[in-house]
Structure 1
Amino acid sequence: MKIALAQMCSGIDPTVNAEQLSWLIAEAAAGDATMVFSPEMTGMLDRNRSRAAQVIRVEADDVVLSTARSEAKKARIWVQLGSLAIRNSSEPEEKWVNRSYLINPDGEITARYDKIHLFDVNLSPDETLRESSAYAGGRDAVVAALPDAMLGMSICYDVRFPGLYESLTNAGANILSIPAAFTVPTGKAHWEILLRARAIEAGAFVVAAAQSGDHEDGRSTFGHSMVVDPWGEILLDMGQRVGLDFCDLDLTRIAEARSRVPAVANRKKFNVPASLA
């Protein structure tokens, strides 16, 4: 299975980002990829919430989603649209969702996933981030069917919560998608080790398309879009370069890794004493 990863430096204008995504999807298809993965917040990365509110739309009106669907159909390629900021209704006071999409080669949306774990952190005395102030967290884990695999969907900060990935693999996932917009400090400290850990414990491929570079809103992201195989080996690391790269997934590696160390099959349920609960 040949896949492509789109590493982006998304700005504040969804129309501009849609144009970039259109080109990336076309290039992925031209390179004979069967599927292309884009990062978290493909459509717009803007920490100015008032300004962002002016361009965030409901699904039916989102220019990036419509572009991804039309280009997927034109190129006959699967698109895993890492995530978009989406309104659930036209009510201005209602929180947005950080939503990931799987789009098939007919341009149809076959799965949606709303980010469950929101990025509420204190990175330093001067940098506090509260994703939950504008976004509502999702409630449902999602596993979606591909022609030859099962895709477990997640987004960025989710990577720190292994219970989610246990649920995904228990439900049949053998490829885990982790689109991200990791900060530079947390990326340097944790990105690679978390991705490799998720791949190893699940005996699954991890595909993590990321944002990279200095963005129009003033933030910086870590980059290093990666593909990790079920044994924890890094097959692709894009560094900080914005653009497209390709990777071949040998799906037989899944059964091989899971037979050598059958951690998924050996999972046990256990009781927790009340004193520890």
Structure 2
Amino acid sequence: MTKIKLALCQMNVIDDKEANLKKATSMITDSANKNADFIVLPEMFNCPYSNDKFIEYGENEDESITLKAISELASENNVYILAGSIPEYENDNLYNTSYLFDRTGSVIAKHRKMHLFDIDVKDKISFKESDVLTAGDNVTVAETEFGKVGIGICYDVRFPELARLMVEDGALILFYPGAFNMTTGPAHWELLFRSRSLDNQAFCIGVAPALNMDASYHSYGHSIVTNPWGEVISQADEKEDIIFCEIDLSEIKKVREELPLLKNKRKDLYEVRLL
């Protein structure tokens, strides 16, 4: 199968886990009813984006009500679901973690955000995830019926080395659930997704929460799909919505034959590799 119908669930996340799960359930069910193959939720879809809420909403994987609900939805609707990310506890560490479920409801991949969002843009925004979160240290590529897909989370998209490692491991689609803000979003969100697609001649998918002005952190929204030529083929605005987009993986082979960037790398001079 080369064609995939994606559903990007740009949901409005509030300070109520039960309500967030109900909203995610509604959007997933609606997406499945409209024949989506692969449904994607935003970063921290069950939790407000703030360090104190990460601690409060954190769940242990084995006892997670959030993951149990998403697993059941994937199985009941016979769809793949990338469960954006949630705050995940393991022992004394708290991670920003994304889970990929297959059509049977089984977890087939798990990515812990590798690059923590520690920034200070003068007079605009300051945030330091490392105050409460621990960074992951694994590159995440999963095998699906469509081929391999890579998973990063938000700030991970800014690091081209990670995208290249995933593509060199065979990833055809790079998923980045994210929550850029109203400072970095207008400046960099679209540019970064187009760049990662162009650099790697792959599809890139970004799914964000909707803008909620009542929250302490204002998400830019603008969930996006970019193609191997570096073009935007679908993009939301800031409001809550489900964006449906069909992609054709055969475009990757065509673009890579016409403009063989990956073949033309100077492997005799440089490489990107894990230490």
Q: State the TM bucket, normalised to the shorter chain.
A: over 0.9
Cα deviation digits, residues 43-78 of structure 1 (max 9, x gap) = 1024251x5423311012222211111111111110
Aligned to 2:25: 22
Partner Cα separation in structure 2 for residue 262 and residue 75 of structure 1: 39
Aligned to 2:71: 69
Q: Quote the offset at 1:212 in angstroms.
A: 2.0
Q: 1:151 to 1:53 in 2, by over 3 A?
A: same
Partner Cα separation in structure 1 for residue 262 and residue 105 of structure 2: 34
Moved more, 139-148 or 121-130: 121-130
Q: Quote the offset at 1:149 in angstroms.
A: 2.0
Partner Cα separation in structure 2 for residue 48 and residue 37 of structure 1: 23
User: Any gaps of 5 or more consecutive residues in structure 1?
Assistant: 273-277
Partner Cα separation in structure 2 for residue 125 and residue 233 of structure 1: 32
Which residue among 245, 249, 261 is the counterpart of 2:259? 261
Residue correspondence of structure 1 range 188-227 to structure 2 within 5 A:
188-214=186-212, 216-227=214-225
Partner Cα separation in structure 1 for residue 268 and residue 156 of structure 2: 24
Aligned to 1:137: 135
Contact 1:228–1:235 (8 Å) recurs in 2: yes
Contact 1:203–1:254 (8 Å) recurs in 2: yes
Contact 1:183–1:220 (8 Å) recurs in 2: yes
Answer yes or no: is 1:43 the counterpart of 2:43. Answer: no
Cα deviation digits, residues 75-112 of structure 1 (max 9, x gap) = 111001111111112xxxx2310011110111110100
Q: 1:217 to 1:259 in 2, by over 3 A?
A: same
Residue correspondence of structure 1 range 90-109 to structure 2 within 5 A:
94-109=92-107
Aligned to 1:118: 116
Q: Quote the offset at 1:270 in angstroms.
A: 5.7
Which residue among 45, 58, 61 is the counterpart of 2:60? 58
Letter matched to residue 265 of structure 1: K
For the residue of structure 2 that corresponds to 1:239, the secondary structure is coil
Which residue among 217, 222, 236 is the counterpart of 1:238? 236
TM-score, scaled to structure 1: 0.92
Q: Quote the offset at 1:8 in angstroms.
A: 1.5
Q: 1:145 to 1:48 in 2, by over 3 A?
A: closer
For the residue of structure 1 that corresponds to 2:219, the secondary structure is strand
Aligned to 2:159: 161
Partner Cα separation in structure 2 for residue 62 and residue 265 of structure 1: 43
Residue correspondence of structure 1 range 174-193 to structure 2 within 5 A:
174-193=172-191
Cα RMSD for the two superposed structures: 1.5
Give the 4+ runs in structure 1 shifted more than 6 A.
Answer: none
Percent of pairs identical after alignment? 30
Partner Cα separation in structure 1 for residue 161 and residue 58 of structure 2: 31
Q: Quote the offset at 1:216 in angstroms.
A: 4.7
For the residue of structure 2 that corresponds to 1:2, the secondary structure is strand
